Structure 1
Amino acid sequence: MAKLRDIARVVRGKNAGALYLTLDVMFEDEATYRRVRDCGVLSPRALAPLYGVTDNEVAIIPFDVARAIKITVPRRVRSGSPGDTDVYGAQQHVPLMQLEVPE
């Protein structure tokens, strides 16, 4: 199995407003994109525990034309409020990078 960090061209996180994070995973080629999209590794059930949310709070939007997958989850605390450790959401992609993708 390969780690997502080794097969994705881009894995990044950023704010989607003050209350949500968006995570983008982009791929160089169609075959790798489809492999990850279809294998279930980026499912609400798999991602919810990584971000401390419920399955119902995870939105996953595949963009076939761009060979990209967008994931949106609620932030644990509002951006910039006390207790926020990543105001821009720029480090929140790290848990995704460790996911193992089946062949």
Structure 2
Amino acid sequence: MPTLGSMAQLIRSKNAGPWKLTIDVMFPDNDAYRHVVDSDVMNAATMGKLFGIAKDKVEIFHYDPANAIKISFPRPYPNGHPQDRDIFGGQQFAPLVDLEVPDRPAPSVTH
């Protein structure tokens, strides 16, 4: 099974204000983007498990013109809090790199 890291051109995270993080996943072409979107591997339940966030707090946006997916969710601590381990939010994408993306099913052959 391919990983998201092997399929994406760029995976990055950053602050989306002091209370939220956002992760951008950008693909090199529409084929890779559609494969991931159609697999539904990047759903709220999976993202919630990976990042320790309730699934109803996860927002996922598909942006077809850019072959990109954006995920936003609340930070565990506000930006700059003494327990905040990543003030810029730049290292939070890591759990997505090894996320396995199901292979596309083989086309069925009819006789």
TM-score scaled by length of structure 2? 0.91
Give the superposed CA RMSD. 0.6
What residue ranges of structure 2 are gaps of 5+ in the alignment? 104-111
The aligned residue for residue 83 of structure 2 is 83
C-alpha displacement of 1:74: 0.5
C-alpha displacement of 1:53: 0.9
1:42 equivalent in alignment to 2:42: yes
TM-score scaled by length of structure 1? 0.98
Which 4+ runs in 1 deviate beyond 6 A? none
C-alpha distance in structure 2 between counterparts of 1:15 and 1:46, whole Å = 21
C-alpha distance in structure 1 between counterparts of 2:97 and 2:56, whole Å = 22
C-alpha displacement of 1:82: 0.9
C-alpha distance in structure 2 between counterparts of 1:46 and 1:83, whole Å = 25
What residue ranges of structure 1 are gaps of 5+ in the alignment? none
Q: Deviations over 1:44-82 (max 9, x none)?
A: 011101111111000000000000000001000001111
C-alpha distance in structure 2 between counterparts of 1:77 and 1:52, whole Å = 13
SS in structure 2 at match of 1:37 = helix
C-alpha distance in structure 2 between counterparts of 1:9 and 1:45, whole Å = 24
SS in structure 1 at match of 2:41 = coil
C-alpha displacement of 1:83: 0.5
C-alpha distance in structure 2 between counterparts of 1:82 and 1:67, whole Å = 36
Matches within 5 A, 1:21-36: 21-36=21-36
Aligned residues: 103
The aligned residue for residue 108 of structure 2 is none
